[in-house]
Amino acid sequence: MKNRIITISREFGSGGRTIGKMVAQELGIPCYDSELLEKIAKESGFDERYIQEAGEYAPGGFLSSAFSHHPSGPNNADYLWNIQFRIITQLAEKGPCVIVGRCADYILRDKADCLRVFIHADMDFRAERIVKVYGESQQSPQQRLKDKDKRRAAYHRFYTDMKWGHAQNYDITLNSGSLGIDKCVQIIKSLY
């Protein structure tokens, strides 16, 4: 039996993570997201919260002082990337699963049995959703979204040289705002 992997890249607040979990649950296969972070953290010695916050950002000077108990060096982000690359490859070899974020789409790009999904939505939908899911913050929701999008795109581009959100990189892209989260889950499920 061939492994069947679904990778989900997503704009912040688009519900991509929720969609990934729902798809995995309905298909009865694991979904790696925070679980993946824990694995990376354990293997790298980096603090899990640091990985969560910095792990999707393009490498820069601000990273060098943020890790927890690993000797300092110029290549923290690259070191993390290598571990992430290995873990994602291993998970995909282990069996069918959904992997959310972390450039899994790129890492598994040559796997024939991998469905690459991108979830996005317009600003209003996402702004309302992040306040509901993550609560208010000092920054406006719009500013939080712009900031996060920019960082994810830069991270993605740095490591993959692919254009973030470019249809050609994916088997399917879905607007969760206009189609609705349940419909997105149904469509992805139907492609499994």
Contacting positions for a copy of itself (CB under 8 A): 118, 120, 122, 165-168, 170-175, 178-179, 183, 186-187, 190-191
Q: For a copy of itself, which is the closer residue by CB, 27 or 187?
A: 187
Q: How far is the CB of 97 from a copy of itself (least distance, A)?
A: 19
Look up residue 146 and give its amino acid: K
Q: Which of 164, 155, 160, 148 is nearest to 59 (CA)?
A: 155
Is the CB of residue 9 less than 8 Å from the CB of residue 170?
Answer: yes
Minimum CB–partner distance for residue 181 and a copy of itself (Å): 14
CB 117 within 8 A of CB 15: no
Query: Measured from the CB atom, is 66 or 187 closer to a copy of itself?
Result: 187
Structure tokens at 80: 């993390």
CB of 8 to a copy of itself, least distance (A): 13
- Give min distance, CB of 69 to a copy of itself, in A: 39
Which residue, 21 or 109, has its beta carbon nearer to a copy of itself? 109
Single-letter residue type at 55:
G
* Tokens describing residue 28: 């009865």
